[in-house]
Amino acid sequence: MEDGLDPMQVAAGAAAVLVADMLKRSWESARNAMERLFKRGREADEASVGQELQLLDTAHRRLNESAESERADLAKRLEQELLIQLGAFLQKNPGLVPDLQDLVDQSDQTDEGTGVRANVRSNIGTQVLIAGRDVNTGNFTSRAPEGEK
């Protein structure tokens, strides 16, 4: 890819941002931005855009209707589901990878300024892991040191 962006890394970042936005007041804005992106897809017609949005809306509803005690686990599952959805969308529309990355970057800029910020681009052949707490990705688990929780 000429822009150096890995579609699956972009999809993973976007999935994380969307799940986080689902619990904020900014959800409607994030949803509208995704709708505009879906409409620019190669196979964009009313039905396909509607299907993409229905998946987002269902995830949003599931997360917000879940019990507080189940929310963290559900958020992880939804992030994986959205990764698959967005990864498939980007495979069909590789030209929109930079646009989705821009949406992720814009979301990072509109947050309240809390937490760690990182911007990793053109990262070829390596993985970057930045976490404020425990991280679980497939068969790999990294836990925050006991004194830093």
Report residue 76 as tokens: 């992880």
Q: Which amino acid, 89?
A: F
Instruction: Report residue 57 CA to chain centroid gap.
Output: 14
Identify whether 143 is part of a domain: no
Identify whether 130 is part of a domain: no
Identify whether 29 is part of a domain: yes
pTM: 0.69
Identify whether 38 is part of a domain: yes
What is the rounded distance in angstroms from the CA atom of residue 62 to the CA atom of residue 47? Answer: 22
Identify whether 124 is part of a domain: no
Q: Which residues contact 77 (CB under 8 A, 6 or more apart)?
A: none
Identify whether 142 is part of a domain: no
Identify whether 126 is part of a domain: no
Q: Can you give the residue range of the structural domain that contains 79?
A: 7-117
pLDDT tens per residue across all 149 residues of the chain: 446 889 999 999 999 999 999 989 889 999 999 999 999 999 889 999 999 999 999 999 999 999 999 999 999 999 999 999 999 999 999 999 999 999 999 886 655 544 444 555 555 666 555 555 555 555 555 566 565 54
Residue 148: per-residue pLDDT: 53
Residue 110: per-residue pLDDT: 57
Quote the number of domains for the chain: 1
Identify whether 134 is part of a domain: no
- For residue 48, the surrounding DSSP H or E stretch is helix 46-65
